[in-house]
């Protein structure tokens, strides 16, 4: 199959970039079905943790703190995520306790 350079538009910043014939050949060899969606600066910024960093915008990601009740002991606690409905949420102590017990159970099953 013969490849020719293509001009694509970045989904992140909107600038045009060239998808070279060599890159297309690499994608074909690897079995990738989709063309790249981002230019190299946006792809680099995204892999380094800040999608908008390529556009020169400072990112200030804040952690979500949610008050909830521990599913095991019933104590009110704060967790660094938004709980999913139907899934148990544990306070720090109960989480550590379950983690220790879970690790011991895996060790016993392996031995």
pLDDT at residue 16 tops 50: yes
- In this prediction, residue 48 has a pLDDT band, given cuts at 50, 70 and 90, of confident
pLDDT of residue 66: 87
- The set of residues, in sequence order, having a beta carbon less than 8 Å from that of 36 and lying 6+ positions away, is 8, 19, 23, 43
pLDDT of residue 54: 46
| DSSP assigned state of 64 | P
- In this prediction, residue 109 has a pLDDT band, given cuts at 50, 70 and 90, of low
Whether this prediction's pTM lies above 0.75 is answered by no
Task: Report which of residues 48 and 11 the model is more confident about.
Answer: 11
């Amino acid at each position: 199959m013969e490849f020719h350079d293509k001009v694509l538009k970045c989904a992140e910043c909107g600038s045009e970039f060239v998808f070279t014939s060599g890159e297309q050949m690499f994608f074909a060899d690897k079995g990738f079905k989709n063309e790249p969606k981002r230019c190299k600066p946006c792809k680099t910024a995204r892999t380094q943790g800040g999608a908008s960093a390529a556009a020169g915008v400072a990112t200030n990601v804040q952690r979500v703190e949610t008050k909830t009740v521990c599913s095991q002991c019933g104590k009110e606690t704060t967790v660094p995520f938004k709980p999913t409905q139907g899934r148990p949420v544990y306070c720090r102590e109960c989480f550590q306790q379950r983690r220790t017990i879970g690790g011991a159970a895996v060790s016993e099953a392996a031995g």
